[in-house]
Chain A
């Protein structure tokens, strides 16, 4: 009976006796006692081969004191988990969107970057999206013309396309309908479509949507667009010459930031924009006189749109020229001092609460800038997380409920910037920079979404040939009642 030494992993079992009259299986059972590895899992290396259970010892030429090596473990055999992981590559495209963390880009159909960037900015308003989902496919109201209806439907479809895709979307349908509704966008130059002013596109689309979404069928003639974007202004029109004074109210969809020599900051521009001179016939003087119009905000929207008046008509060159002046804008905008006295009073309590909360957070040395924004973020992402549930959940925060459930504070957070690069409104390139639901900024350069850092967003303030902000959209920071 030869004795061999058996090496198993790092251990060496010297002097294991082999009974050569018995089949190797017996030897394996011997090793089982030593190592705890069941015989069927044992692999014993003999002369570059594995010892078979029924092998003949005599043919193996075993030598006294030979070193054998045994491989094998008593480890449990790996089994595939019941439910394998789901891989992104296998998912349908709409579910990949969630994983990618931002929606798709839009193909440029030939100088349509103004339209693409406008749509990307508007697409970032979830309330608008849900309102559009409500919009009936066929049941158009009587006072709405066919082309407006089609444009609204196209907008709705485009938005849902954007949500569903990871790869860029071609907004062909929308583009056709837009041109139909507003033929000025179909202008041709040298056989191709011309670049247009994004602001005009923005205004027109919002106008159409406000018309369409006002349909009486939904509920007591609520104008969703107005509710979301409308800014109530109260203006005191004063004529210095005659001493006449009148109060006017109006509702606009955007505030203008006028840019002049003195304006370095958005705030100054806004103040500037709320004061204007106009010439009109004075009833008391019997001729036209200069009136000073001094406006204040009387009603705040959920989304505050600010347009930088960067383009003006240059008579000499017969084109829209651009003001390149650098005008800084903040990520967090407080427009309290632009509000009317009435509104200020209303805002005071919520603002106090906001400050208190901020103070608390700062006291806890939390890094988050404000609790309110965090609250909103959580809320928004909760509400809008799963795309399919979006419709219902955001409905509750919207419509009639929205005013009652939340309080506006006059503090706004930047959510989207539409920039222009180039020297005139009808040339150059428009790009949308949109904050996603996860708080990340994405630059939508037509079909190419590029992630950006938040600190780079404020660098779009102009003063060079880089992209500069043309339209900014701020979202209200609200407090729950």
Chain B
């Protein structure tokens, strides 16, 4: 991110290479004779200038100080007036080159005086083109010079100087020498850069000299945005802990200029609750606070406002309500009504079997439990959040048990998923959802009860309620006999309280981990639920409990696919927390060797998820390069780890996609089956064409597990997009695999994903222009992907409800503008592909190929919106999710 110094070096070396000098030196000894030959092609004007300069050089060495001074000043005058041109070496500099050595020699003989300083200034400029690489003579003479206005010598000179300072600085730091004089110079240069729209250069220089704090002094209203933008985007490429300090500076600057929403975003990125509080306390405006709450709600954080942050009780309640996401369902339905997709869709509408004439599966006169289960999931995903569907809620008020018909078209554990699907259909609408689910609590079928419990969790996912209905309803079922019911309650709690770090939940769940009588599946799902509730918290107590549970497993348990959820639960505790995982990772080395490596991979992949840490990616790639006979499972998480770490930013993401292609070619089966899942995570809800093609190819792989993973991943990359191409691929796959029940099930699920929320959803854990990562969303996806590593045992077995873990990542991909009373307000917006404008000059367009819509609008992956009207001012610079609009006081209606 710091190309400038190298550039400078290049120019310096080009002009200052030894060959040039040797050619040019002779004339300096005997100018007149040779110049006549060489200067034949010079115009008259140039010749005059050249002779003039030569005269100055001669005079500058004169004994008479007055004459010297005049000569030097004239020389300076000549140079200054010409440095404005950047296209070529300025003529005075060119003509003075032969005399550089002479002047240098003379300088050394001069006594200290103002004149000497003046000459040092001139030499410093001349060194710009003359000095050999690494000599840093420009800097040397600058320091010896008069320290006058640095900008007077032109921009190029300053840039060159900055480069030399960076080199000198690192040299001096190594020698532990004093750098004060450099810092002084740096301050001048930064001031100059900041004044001249060269913020990136200023930031780069300050990063080199490790003195970013200086920046705060120099930013002003006009340049702080560009500065911070550069800071935040370069932070991604910096090694820790530099990135944190860079972001801290950006936070400070934003706060200084009261750009609170941006400051809040950085605070969230840093996961620094102290900063968040500061923002609330330092912002006096209630409306803006409401916008902060929307941002917090999107991140999925549980955050309690106190009196300090908002003095008024009523206001605080209103703000808390926004953070609790209680209005999410309402906003989502507003969007749905505006786009006119309220009409419920049946699974058949998604399968579109009529487009596959002749190849559609023949008249299904008999119900297939597997197919009905698939239909249950498809129905749940497609109608998620709409509150109505064609299977579960239909005719519920009509004849008795009308809705239960579909429920009982599912077999055994399928009924659990069917009952839970009600939660999905009423997603985010706690009141309706709980009312709908209530009747299933009284069923005499344990599977139905388990499903209802899970449904309560789903419906509460991401929503917080003062009355804590989920905890109240589910707590009673935690110690039931039936392990199905228990898992339902445990997982439900995990969904409802993901990311809250609720201690009540911990107190209720940790004893289960230590319960010697609890079956393995209950323990596994408890670990996951705790991992979700305490995601990214590094909570010692929970970690201990899971570690003990892992150590207590018998040898045979450790071989079970479900056991692998335990390390995952542990890993979730450290999601994105990098080094904090070290202690636990050390402990994990003492585990039984069956699970040790798996645990290590899972912990590492979780801890570095979303960091873009290249070293970790290489570490995982190294793990995948090993070839084993069979039975090694740890490479699966390693492959997923590549995706989890690399998904942080676009460049790393593209590199990871290419690396994964190599794994496909050289990897063993256990790696190959994880690769599609990793691709699915990298491009989640972002159907990139080349990834789509790769997955389409893999979906016909001879190995069924690879094919199944590829099919699921096709669904993931198209999740919530209604992407026609993927939909077509899946349709063809459904006829291709019509006989293979397992694969067909996967195809159906993928179809459900693609049409999730009728195309209004996204699963991407990144939001706010790909800056923030929602830990709960990522956690949900990671659990699903880990479960998909062993499809047969988990998703195709009786634990298919792990598919509901996507609920944690489900968010409407919308922009909903609201007025000051938080009522939807329709305004025109331009929606287009986002353009990277970091470090670009002027005021470049931030979107390209835009279309104008009126809100609410859908935003696709990589889209950015901007207001197309001056009438309102958005309270958040990033137009995503809920954005409050304020009337622009300066707006005048055009006549």
Give residues in A with beta carbon < 8 Å to B: 7, 9-10, 41, 43, 45-50, 67-69, 71-73, 75-81, 84-91, 95-96, 98-102, 436, 438, 440-441, 451-454
Contact = CB atoms under 8 A, between A and B. Distances in A.
Given A9-B435, A88-B369, A41 B358 contact: no
Interface stretch (B56-64, B191-199, B399-407, B862-870): B399-407
Contacts of A100: 362, 739
A373 B684 CA distance: 51
Nearest to B396: A75
A95 B365 CA distance: 11
B468 A45 contact: yes
Nearest to B403: A78
A10 to B, nearest CB: 5
29 contacts: A7-B467, A9-B434, A9-B435, A10-B431, A41-B438, A43-B473, A45-B467, A45-B472, A47-B468, A48-B504, A49-B471, A72-B435, A72-B438, A75-B438, A78-B403, A78-B404, A78-B443, A79-B401, A88-B368, A95-B366, A96-B366, A98-B366, A99-B365, A100-B362, A101-B363, A438-B362, A440-B358, A453-B359, A454-B358
B439 A85 contact: no
B358 A71 contact: no
B357 A453 contact: yes
Given A9-B432, A45-B468, A75-B439, A88 B366 contact: yes
B665 to A, nearest CB: 29
A411 to B, nearest CB: 23
Tell me which of A46, A67, A68, A101 has the highest count of chain B C-beta atoms within 10 A of its own C-beta: A101
A360 B431 CA distance: 60
A47 B504 CA distance: 11
A257 B204 CA distance: 85
B629 interface: no
A78 B401 contact: yes
Given A9-B431, A98-B365, A451-B738, A73 B438 contact: yes
B464 to A, nearest CB: 12
Interface string B627-657: 0000000000000000000000000000000
A454 B358 CA distance: 7
Nearest to B365: A99
Contacts, number: 133
B contact residues, range: 35 or more
B706 interface: no
A91 B468 contact: no
B448 interface: yes
B117 interface: no
B786 to A, nearest CB: 27
A99 to B, nearest CB: 4
Contacts of B360: 451
Contacts of A71: 434-435, 438, 469, 473
Given A9-B435, A101-B362, A87 B369 contact: yes
Contacts of B365: 98-99
B740 to A, nearest CB: 12
Contacts of B727: none
Contacts of B403: 78
Interface string B6-41: 000000000000000000000000000000000000
B400 A76 contact: yes
B438 A451 contact: no
B467 A69 contact: yes
B367 interface: yes
Tell me which of B364, B408, B476 has the highest count of chain A C-beta atoms within 10 A of its own C-beta: B408
Contacts of A101: 361-363
Nearest to A72: B438
B553 interface: no
Contacts of B434: 9, 71
A451 B408 contact: no
Nearest to B415: A80
Contacts of B431: 7, 9-10
Contacts of A102: 362
Contacts of B442: 41, 77-78
Given A67-B466, A78-B404, A78-B407, A438 B363 contact: yes
B495 interface: no
Contact of B366 (A77, A87, A454): A87
B438 to A, nearest CB: 5
Q: Which 4 A-B pairs have the closest CB atoms?
A: A101-B362, A453-B358, A69-B467, A45-B467
B401 A81 contact: yes
A364 B313 CA distance: 75
B745 to A, nearest CB: 12
A75 B471 CA distance: 23
B411 interface: yes
Contact of A48 (B372, B440, B471): B471
Given A80-B404, A453-B358, 8 more contacts: A67-B466, A68-B467, A78-B404, A81-B408, A87-B372, A89-B368, A96-B366, A453-B359
B472 A50 contact: yes
Nearest to A73: B438
B435 A73 contact: yes
A479 B501 CA distance: 78
A91 B366 contact: yes
B465 interface: yes
